[in-house]
Structure 1
Amino acid sequence: MLELAPEIIALLFLAAVAAGFVDAIAGGGGLITVPALLAAGVSPVAAIATNKIQGSCGTAAATWTFWRKGRIDFALLKWPLIATVVGAALGAVTVMFVDTTWLMVLLPLLLAAIAVYFLVGPKASDEDVHARLTPFAFGAVAGGIGFYDGFFGPGAGSFFALALVTLLGMGLTRATAHTKALNLASNLVSVAVFAVGGQVLWAVGLSMAVGQVIGGWLGSHAAMRFGPRLIRPLLVVICLAMVVKLLSDPTNPLRVWLAGFF
């Protein structure tokens, strides 16, 4: 059983507060907490599993805050939530058995594309527009993102937010609120699968969960107060920061390929 020094636990707690704040607004907090767990000596699969524990609590705090303010329509999310749960369960099972190298090539490209969309694309306001998909059809998209969230996770909030804005026509603050509900569903089912597989470090995850709840509460209130003025730029910054973080790894396959190309 891995034992961490108190000062390491304290640093992981602070990382969880920052991740909870970011997650509640733009997603991507996993790119703060997963590397922090890996740096503390936690194995990759255990880091992903433990990250789901603390991420679930922070997302639950944000979801509760948005729901109490009347920002989440669970009737609308019925089919997307079901699809997200199924996708997340399949993703969590898959990550314990397959090589994730290909994901390190695809993920930076997807995150960069999202950043470009929110930076130069149509201005995402708080006004709802015509939906391109029905909630039932959107379930297929939600299921795919749920699979990714169970499989790896960081950036899933950004993917959900973009899909809700572009495909269900939601305003940015409303999309952010509904993203939290979808994220919570995928996190909870992932935790269940990882727990059955014995991959969760419960003491570490629960201590970080306290920090996530604090950060999630602060972030959700900030999102409702400032709306797109805060959400849009933070989405861009977080997506680009995640791209830089992923490509900062000298072993990242995409970085290796680009270095050889140039």
Structure 2
Amino acid sequence: MDYTSLITLCSFAFLAGFVDAIIGGGGLIQTPATLFTLPQYPVPTLLGTTKIPSLSGSLMGAFQYSRRVAVVGRFIGPMLGLAFGASWLGSLVLTRVPNGFMKPLALVILIAVFIYTLTKKDFGQIPQRVVTARQQQIRMALMGIVVGFYDGFFGPGTGSFLVLGFIALVGFDFLRASAHAKLVNASTNLASVLFFVNKGTIIYAVALPMAVANLTGAFLGARLAILKGNQFIRVFFLLVIAATIVRFAWDMVG
């Protein structure tokens, strides 16, 4: 491992942490950069390696948001547990079943999300509707299972799907949705890290410096999102969704 490659990876990890803390989508930056920079390593090894910086960034983002944004404490705990278990199961299934069919499905969903968010100007700007405590509990539990499994099985766009779910199903605004999404993302990333640690497919000499860079980016990204508020996060959300659509479409054409 030469220093130039490591510096390059840390730079991308910093940018990934910054973007991910605001609205999710950091994996779209960090994972391709790692695959392109270290082509001599097996893909599972590189995917496992990127999970540690992703976890560190998620934890930093979750910590920053939780200090300034009210969290639904009595429901987020069970959701984190369900997301953790579902993510572990998704990673296990990934080792046995190909996930190629996920990309076209995710692409269609993301295009619909982009169009809806772009045309509905007030989406996520204020709490959209009153959701009863029982509805919040059920919907957050289901989100934890579905999105947790998706993160372990496929991954890209998880943060954006979480934000979308918290806004559309639970009634949060963008800032509160981002705060809760980071908590759930930290749980799913932890499950993946433990899975890959158990498999022994992590390059720690790469993962640990990238983790510091990702954490630093997440600190700055979360602070900026909290400072700028919902409209700023909405713009970032649209940019990340657009980038994800382009990335998926490019991969499918290629």
Same fold (TM over 0.5): yes
Is 1:176 the counterpart of 2:175? The answer is no
Is 1:97 the counterpart of 2:104? The answer is no
TM-score, length-normalised on structure 2?
A: 0.92
Is 1:21 the counterpart of 2:18? The answer is yes
Residues of 2 paired with 1:128 and 1:148: CA distance? Answer: 26
Report if the CA contact (8 A) 2:139-2:170 is conserved. Answer: no
Residues of 1 paired with 2:245 and 2:236: CA distance? Answer: 14
The verdict on how the C-alpha distance between 1:48 and 1:107 changes in structure 2, with shifts beyond 3 A counting, is farther
Percent identity between the two aligned chains: 31
Alignment partner, residue 77 of structure 2 = 78
Report if the CA contact (8 A) 1:61-1:217 is conserved. Answer: yes
Q: Which runs of 5+ in 2 are unaligned?
A: none
TM-score, length-normalised on structure 1?
A: 0.90
Report if the CA contact (8 A) 2:87-2:148 is conserved. Answer: yes
Report if the CA contact (8 A) 2:147-2:158 is conserved. Answer: yes
Alignment partner, residue 238 of structure 2 = 236
Residues of 2 paired with 1:48 and 1:168: CA distance? Answer: 31
Q: Which runs of 5+ in 1 are unaligned?
A: 257-262
Aligned residues: 249
Of the three residues 170, 195, 198, the one matched with 2:197 is 195
The verdict on how the C-alpha distance between 1:46 and 1:113 changes in structure 2, with shifts beyond 3 A counting, is farther
Report if the CA contact (8 A) 2:139-2:169 is conserved. Answer: no
Alignment partner, residue 260 of structure 1 = none
Alignment partner, residue 160 of structure 1 = 162
Alignment partner, residue 48 of structure 2 = 49
Q: 1:126-178: CA deviations, max 9, x gaps?
A: 43631273313431122110111112222100000000011111121011101
Q: What's the CA shift for 1:122? A: 5.6
Q: What's the CA shift for 1:75? A: 2.0
Q: What's the CA shift for 1:70? A: 4.3
Residues of 2 paired with 1:219 and 1:117: CA distance? Answer: 25
Q: What's the CA shift for 1:43? A: 2.6
Report if the CA contact (8 A) 1:28-1:157 is conserved. Answer: yes
Report if the CA contact (8 A) 1:126-1:173 is conserved. Answer: no
Q: For residue 164 of structure 2, what is the amino acid of its counterpart?
A: L
Q: What's the CA shift for 1:74? A: 2.6
Report if the CA contact (8 A) 2:60-2:215 is conserved. Answer: yes
Q: What's the CA shift for 1:246? A: 2.1
Q: What's the CA shift for 1:53? A: 0.7
Give the 4+ runs in structure 1 shifted more than 4 A.
none
